Structure 1
Amino acid sequence: MFISSQSSTPVFKDLTLVMPAVAVGNVGQLAVDLIISTLNVRRVGYLHTDCLIPMAGNNPYATCKDDAEELHTAAEVYAAPELKLAILQIRAPIVKPKSKRFRQLLLSWIKSSGFSRTVVLSSSHAYQRDDQQLQGTPLRYLITPSLLKASADALKELGWKEMEKVPPCLGHSDANTEPRLVVPGGGITKGLFTDSCTEEVRLAVLLIFCSEGNNIPDAFTLLNHLNDWLHLLDSPKHEANNWKIPASWSLLFGSGIPPALF
């Protein structure tokens, strides 16, 4: 699944992997863009799989004309060993019938690579929150039991809110009335988390409740939340200006109005 772009295969053992889930508002992907652009992390390879819709384009993090025409693909891996950090950026939707297979391939790669922990940045539909989820911050987290053992003290100090389980909808045909975990609009988030619990993978999910639209502020909020834990950037708390916006964001909402219209 992983193909190195270097002459030798990179070593990921004991690095922290940060990756997005393709979810509502693409918040996780936007946050990962900011990390790669700000830290100037080097690309070390890509994931080759038929589970993602194929795509290719110019370098989204171009800083000059010389590197603007580099070819980039749907799922790429970046690494900064000096920061103990690896990043997976996913730029294309997952083929729906192959969602489960993609999760399995992803977890297999994560386990074989020896990452110390994996952090998934995701989002969920704000309009589908229940009453308890409407209170306080829109940010939530999930963590597998295997990672909780090592991170319980840090999470307690941060004072984060865990994603609440919600009761089944009224009139639901399922006889089980126990509260359950749902992440509407979260793509593979719930499935990946559940699989990680079963396979004892050290994984955490950070997500934000949001709506489709201009989700740049949501990306900054989620990324600053992550930074409080991982300290990727030593800067005053919650200052969005410390993150570098990539060149590709200039076309986030399309190009300008064609002069020929007038």
Structure 2
Amino acid sequence: MFVSSEDSTPCFKGYTLILPAVAVGNVGQLSADLIISTLKMVRVGHLHTECLVPIAGNNPYSCAAGETDQISTSAEVYSHSDLKLAVLQIRTPVLQTKVRAFRKLLVSWIKSSGFSRTVLLSSSHAYHRDDQQLHGTTLRYLLTPALQEVEETLRELGWTELERVSAFPGISDSEKRLWIPGGGVTKGLYSDCCTESVPLAVLLLFCSEGDNVPDAFTLIDRLNDWLHLLDKPSQGSSVWRVPSSWRLLFGSGIPPLLF
């Protein structure tokens, strides 16, 4: 259930929704962080659900000392009215027994809010790629039937649709399936949106666990090529603003008193 931060519920009709899948390397979540921080998006509400691991923490996008006291939760919605853009940032994993219920919640909210299209930022284990997926870039996309009109645009950008792989490798190649190992709810949500005629695009990056900040910049740059959220930077510079919370992305460092 969406809970507004204001007295009235914001109108998302005609907006583009961007949300991450909690997947390998947290690439989608890091990318969402960059969008929210760079565009200085305003928090307009949160999703109240028992499907996610609950958390509470300080404002991850604070720029001044007075902004840190704002409480952040596991699933928050940010908005940019000029761009007609909304971002749902999901910060915690989906409970294993609640995956189907969470997908149903997302699809219901997306449909009732009137979003014109939804973009799911995700990732998948690089070491699970088959031979055909080793060619080209590490970026792949999927489109539901309700969003097929943008396929030509994505192909002009040089993007590759996610290949189906053999259901029985080494035995029979006649049956193909969609396989996204490490992708969290990506495959299920994509299938649900196909069934419910929801305009959804999946942007997916093959990656490995580790320092996935470069992967996040790669994914968000490709997204920007399509949606034009920001002007392209001059050579050698970056348009994306790293949030303050990333200072402790890998912990606070080794205490000097140990040596």
Question: Shift in Å at residue 240 of structure 1?
Answer: 6.4
Question: Shift in Å at residue 152 of structure 1?
Answer: 3.0
Match of 1:252 in 2: 249
Runs of 4+ residues deviating >6 angstroms: 237-240
Which segments of 5 or more consecutive residues in structure 2 lack a partner in the other structure? Answer: none
Is 2:207 the counterpart of 1:233?
no
User: What whole-Å deviation, never above 9, does each CA across 1:70-113 have from its counterpart, x for those lacking one?
Assistant: 11000000011111100000000000111011000000000000
- Distance in 2, matches of 1:138 and 1:239, equals 22
Structure 2 counterpart of 1:168, one-letter code: A
Please report the TM-score for the alignment, with normalisation by the length of structure 2: 0.96
Match of 2:195 in 1: 198
Match of 1:157 in 2: 156
Report the count of equivalent residues. 259
Which segments of 5 or more consecutive residues in structure 1 lack a partner in the other structure? Answer: none
Give identity over the alignment, percent.
63
Query: For 2:141, what is the secondary structure of its paired residue?
Result: strand
Please report the TM-score for the alignment, with normalisation by the length of structure 1: 0.95
What RMSD over aligned residues (CA atoms) do the two structures have, in Å? 1.6
Match of 1:24 in 2: 24
Structure 2 counterpart of 1:190, one-letter code: K
Is 2:122–2:202's contact at 8 Å kept on the other side of the alignment?
A: yes
User: What whole-Å deviation, never above 9, does each CA across 1:28-52 have from its counterpart, x for those lacking one?
Assistant: 0000000000000000000000000
- Distance in 2, matches of 1:198 and 1:55, equals 32
Query: For 1:82, what is the secondary structure of its paired residue?
Result: coil
Is 2:168–2:175's contact at 8 Å kept on the other side of the alignment?
A: no
Q: Is the alpha carbon distance of 1:240 and 1:49 closer, same or farther for their aligned partners in structure 2, counting shifts above 3 Å?
A: farther
Match of 1:143 in 2: 143
- Distance in 2, matches of 1:186 and 1:90, equals 14
Match of 2:37 in 1: 37
- Which residue of 182, 198, 217 corresponds with 2:179? 182
User: What whole-Å deviation, never above 9, does each CA across 1:147-177 have from its counterpart, x for those lacking one?
Assistant: 113x1332232121000000024478xx995
- Distance in 1, matches of 2:235 and 2:75, equals 28
